[in-house]
Amino acid sequence: MHRTRPYVHYCVSKNVCDCGRVSIGHCLIYARLPVFFHCHVVVKAFGSSSQTVTDSSMREYKIVVLGSGGVGKSALTVQFVQGIFVEKYDPTIEDSYRKQVEVDGQQCMLEILDTAGTEQFTAMRDLYMKNGQGFVLVYSITAQSTFNDLIDLRDQILRVKDTDEVPMILVGNKCDLEDERVVGKDQGQNLARQFNCAFLETSAKAKVNVNEVPTLVMVKSL
């Protein structure tokens, strides 16, 4: 299920923004953007047109961003893909973004699924988890409950994937709000050891460790 939002089309062959069309053209890359984005904001991080559009041999990875509502999942995702900090964002149902990245010398197409954190959309999570190849589990360092929620969330991933180990990273977001911290860094490190996964504290607003998050998940997937 996708929220209805305007699409911004980026024509990689002409390097122009085409906001007047609602159907995908063969040369167009698209992203679902917040409704308040203006037409001059386009996704610029897809690499060259030849690699983005025609390289069928490029490996693709699906990463799912999960966590409670309000922890900054959408802000992290948009900052990584577009280099923009979104201060106010409508509660997400599901938003999908694509970005071409290089990992260990390989060009890869990364698809990031930004999911809902609210209770009414939890029934959709099984499908996200089933299709995801790697997972970003996000909590806010300013809210203990968002940290506690990740234990059940990880258990759900393992149940859906029917395995004991899945590529993932634990992310403590909003590390710029040190004065409001209630979850210690050592708590995050200890939980990451329990999960047998990487750990980072990030700030979408201050651009701290944002680019490292998807890369660490992908490296474990390779």
- Asked if residues 99 and 88 have their Cβ atoms less than 8 Å apart, the reply is no
Residue 11 falls within a domain, yes or no? Answer: no
Spatial CA neighbour of 204 closest among 170, 169, 177: 177
Q: Is the dihedral of CA 201, 106, 128, 198 positive or negative?
A: negative
Residue scoring higher pLDDT (43 or 53): 53
Q: What is the mean pLDDT of the chain?
A: 76
What pLDDT, on a 0 to 100 scale, did the predictor assign at position 38?
29
Taking 50 as the threshold, does the pLDDT of residue 114 lie above it?
Answer: yes
Residue 123 falls within a domain, yes or no? Answer: yes
Spatial CA neighbour of 22 closest among 12, 33, 8, 3: 8
What pLDDT, on a 0 to 100 scale, did the predictor assign at position 24?
30
Residue 209 falls within a domain, yes or no? Answer: yes
Q: Is the dihedral of CA 188, 192, 194, 195 positive or negative?
A: positive
Residue 115 banded pLDDT, cuts 50, 70, 90: confident
What pLDDT, on a 0 to 100 scale, did the predictor assign at position 102?
86
What pLDDT, on a 0 to 100 scale, did the predictor assign at position 121?
57
User: How far is it, in rounded angstroms, from Cα 153 to Cα 136?
Assistant: 11
Give the CATH number of the domain where residue 130 resides: 3.40.50.300
Residue 19 falls within a domain, yes or no? Answer: no
Which domain does 87 fall in, by range? 58-221
Residue 2 falls within a domain, yes or no? Answer: no
Percentage with pLDDT > 90 across the chain? 54
The predicted model gives 17-44 an average pLDDT of: 32
Say how many domains are in the chain: 1
Residue 201 falls within a domain, yes or no? Answer: yes
The predicted model gives 168-189 an average pLDDT of: 98
User: How far is it, in rounded angstroms, from Cα 66 to Cα 121?
Assistant: 12
The predicted model gives 180-186 an average pLDDT of: 98
Cα distances (Å, whole numbers) of residue 41 to 9, 45, 94, 122, 185: 10, 12, 20, 31, 35
Percentage with pLDDT > 70 across the chain? 68
Secondary element (H or E) of residue 171 = strand 168-173
What pLDDT, on a 0 to 100 scale, did the predictor assign at position 93?
63
Taking 70 as the threshold, does the pLDDT of residue 23 lie above it?
Answer: no
pLDDT in tens, 59-90: 899 999 999 999 999 999 999 999 999 887 66
Residue 33 falls within a domain, yes or no? Answer: no
Strand order in the sheet with 134-140: 94-103, 106-115, 59-67, 134-140, 168-173, 198-201
Cα distances (Å, whole numbers) of residue 175 to 48, 66, 124, 134, 219: 34, 18, 29, 23, 24
Taking 60 as the threshold, does the pLDDT of residue 45 lie above it?
Answer: no
Strand order in the sheet with 16-18: 16-18, 7-11, 28-32
- Asked if residues 131 and 215 have their Cβ atoms less than 8 Å apart, the reply is no
Residue 151 falls within a domain, yes or no? Answer: yes
The predicted model gives 83-108 an average pLDDT of: 82
Residue 21 banded pLDDT, cuts 50, 70, 90: very low
